[in-house]
Amino acid sequence: MTTHDNNPLLGKNLRVNADRLWDSLMEMAKIGPGVAGGNNRQTLTDEDAEGRALFQKWCEDAGCSMGLDSMGNMFAMRAGTEPDLLPVYVGSHLDTQPTGGKYDGVLGVLSGLELVRTLNDLDIKTRHPIVVTNWTNEEGTRYAPPMLSSGVFAGIHSEEWAKDRVDINGKRFGDELKRIGWEGDEPVGARKMHAMFELHIEQGPILENEGKDIGVVTHGQGLSWTQITITGRDAHTGSTPMPLRRNAGLAMGRVLEKVDEIALSHAPHAVGAAGHIEVFPNSRNVIPGKVIFTVDFRSPDLDVITDMEARLRQEAQQIADTMGLDIAFEKVGGFDPVTFDDNCVSAIRDAAERLGYSHLNIISGAGHDACWISRVAPTGMIMCPCVDGLSHNEAEDITKEWATAGTDVLLHAVLDTAEIVE
Ligand code: HGY
Ligand code: MN
Ligand code: MN
C-alpha cells in the first residue's frame, strides 16, 4: 500500500484537470437553464432527468458501473483492487432551486467525476472502491423536507412517507420519480460506506472574506422548518371597516417580525426567515383570508433551535388569539446540528496542507446530504468560497481556481482513505 509520503507521483503534484472539471460544470449548466444565467433544474422534472442521463453517460464513459436505488439516488462505482472492501463515497446533488446557481450541489457531484477521471488518466488504483453519488431532492424546494433521499438512505424518513410527499400542484414524489424513469430497484440504505466526502460551495461569505481557499467543515448547523397556516376571512379591501377585518396577511407580517427578533436574540450564530409564503386568494382587492408560510430557523446549538421553535409558537399563537384568527403549526423539516468525523476532517486538513492551499475550520450554514450521511458513515465536508457568499440565486458564482482547489483536496482526502496501491 502506497501513501502520499513515499510516492512522489502522489504528492503535492497530484492535481485534477481544472479545464475538464470546469467544462463539465458548464456543460451540465446548459440543462435546465434559469432566466438570469443560473439554473432551474428542480428535482424529478424532465430537466432533472436530462441532467441525470448526462451524468450517467459521463460516468460510464469513465468506466464506472451505475447503481440506482428506489429513491433515485445514483451511485457510479469505480472498482477497487479489493472489491469486498467498503467503498469511499463522494458526491452531492444535481437538483437546483427554481432560481438556483450552477454550482450548489453540482460541484460536489462533478468533482467526484473529475476525481475518477484523474485516477483513470494516471492509472492509479485504490484498495477500496470509489463511488460518486447524486442524491435525489437535496434542495427540498419542490418536495419538503430538504435532503429527503439521503434522509431515507440514513433511516431518518421511511421510503413510503417520502414518496407520499406532494408538490404545490399535488403531484406525488413517488409518481414523479416513476414518470421520469429514475426509480431503481436497489433498496435504499442497503449500501454500507467506508467513508463519505462532500465538496460544496460555502454559500456564505466567510472563506472569501478571510481569503481562504478551503473550508474544513467541522460541524453543520441544525435546521428547523415550521409551516404555519393562519386563517381569517376573505373580505373587500375597500368596503370592509378596519375593526371588522380578520386579516391573515397582517398576522403573518407580525409573526415574521417576531421571527427576526427571536433569531437576533441568539446572535451571532442563529438565523431565521420565511422563504415560502402563500397568500390566498392573492387578489389585489381581497383581504387575505388565509396564509401558509414556512419559518426556517438554524443554529449550531440544538438548545437554541428548541428555544426558537417554542418562542415562535407562543408568539404566533398570541398574535392569532389577539386578532381572533385560527392558527395551525406543522413541523415540515429539521435536523440536529452535526459534528463531522475527526478522521475525515483530518484527511481534508492534511490534504489542504500538502497541496499548499490556505484553509479555515468552518461550520456549514446550509444543510447538506452529508449531514444525514454522517449518521451512518464517517463523513467529511470540504468547502470552497463563492462570490459575495451568494447562493440560492442565479448570480451564484465561483472561480475555476476555487473549484479546482476544492477538487484537488477531495482527491487527496479520498486517496488517503481509499488507499492507493502500486
Ligand atoms: O436548505 C438548505 O440548507 C440546503 O441548501 N438545501
Ligand atoms: Mn446544496
Ligand atoms: Mn441549495
Ligand 3 centre to CA of 216 (Å) is: 19
In the predicted structure, residue 1 carries a pLDDT above the cut 50: no
Q: Does the beta carbon of 367 lie inside 6 Å of ligand 1?
A: yes
Ligand 3 centre to CA of 72 (Å) is: 18
Per-residue pLDDT of 291-342, as tens digits, reads 999 999 999 999 999 999 999 999 999 999 999 999 999 999 999 999 999 9
Report DSSP state, residue 170.
Answer: -
Looking up cell 450521511 gives: 373
Nearest CA to ligand 1 atom 4: 367
Ligand 1 centre to CA of 1 (Å) is: 39
> Model's pTM, two decimal places?
0.92
Res 11: pLDDT: 79
Helix and strand numbers, DSSP H then E, in the chain: 12, 17
List the Cα angle 182/150/386 in 5-degree steps.
100
Ligand 2 centre to CA of 137 (Å) is: 10
Res 10: pLDDT: 62
Nearest CA to ligand 1 atom 6: 139
Res 6: pLDDT: 53
Q: Contact, 112 vs 89, CB < 8 A?
A: no
Q: Does the beta carbon of 146 lie inside 6 Å of ligand 1?
A: yes
Mean pLDDT of 111-117: 98
Q: Does the beta carbon of 220 lie inside 6 Å of ligand 1?
A: no
- Please compute Rg for the chain using Cα positions: 23
Of the listed ligands, the closest to the CA of 141 is 1
In the predicted structure, residue 5 carries a pLDDT above the cut 70: no
Per-residue pLDDT of 46-96, as tens digits, reads 999 999 999 999 999 999 999 999 999 999 999 999 999 999 999 999 999
SS3 354: helix
Of the listed ligands, the closest to the CA of 93 is 2
Nearest Cα neighbor of 214 from 9, 362, 315 is 362
Which triple of cell numbers denotes residue 360? Answer: 479555515
CA 381 to chain centre: 12
Res 183: pLDDT: 98
User: In angstroms, rounded to a whole number, what is the distance separating the alpha carbons of residues 220 and 227?
Assistant: 22
Q: DSSP characters for 41-106?
A: --TTSHHHHHHHHHHHHHHHHTTPEEEEBTT--EEEEEP-SSTTSPPEEEEE-----TTB-SSTTH
Mean pLDDT of 218-230: 97
CA atoms within 13 A on the CB side of 15: 15
Report DSSP state, residue 166.
Answer: B
Of the listed ligands, the closest to the CA of 96 is 3
Q: Which residues, chain by chain, have CB under 5 Å from ion ligand 2?
A: 104-105
If one residue of 95, 96, 103, 138 were mutated to test the ligand 1 pocket, choosing by the most ligand atoms within 8 A of its CB, it would be 138
Mean pLDDT of 150-161: 98
Ligand 2 centre to CA of 368 (Å) is: 6
User: In angstroms, rounded to a whole number, what is the distance separating the alpha carbons of residues 284 and 271?
Assistant: 31
* Number of residues that make up the chain: 422
Q: Strand 290-299 relative to strand 271-280: parallel, antiparallel, unpaired?
A: antiparallel
Of the listed ligands, the closest to the CA of 146 is 1
In the predicted structure, residue 2 carries a pLDDT above the cut 50: no
If one residue of 107, 135, 143, 147 were mutated to test the ligand 1 pocket, choosing by the most ligand atoms within 8 A of its CB, it would be 147
Per-residue pLDDT of 18-27, as tens digits, reads 999 999 999 9
| Residue 146 CA, closest ligand 1 atom number | 6
| Residue 139 CA, closest ligand 1 atom number | 6
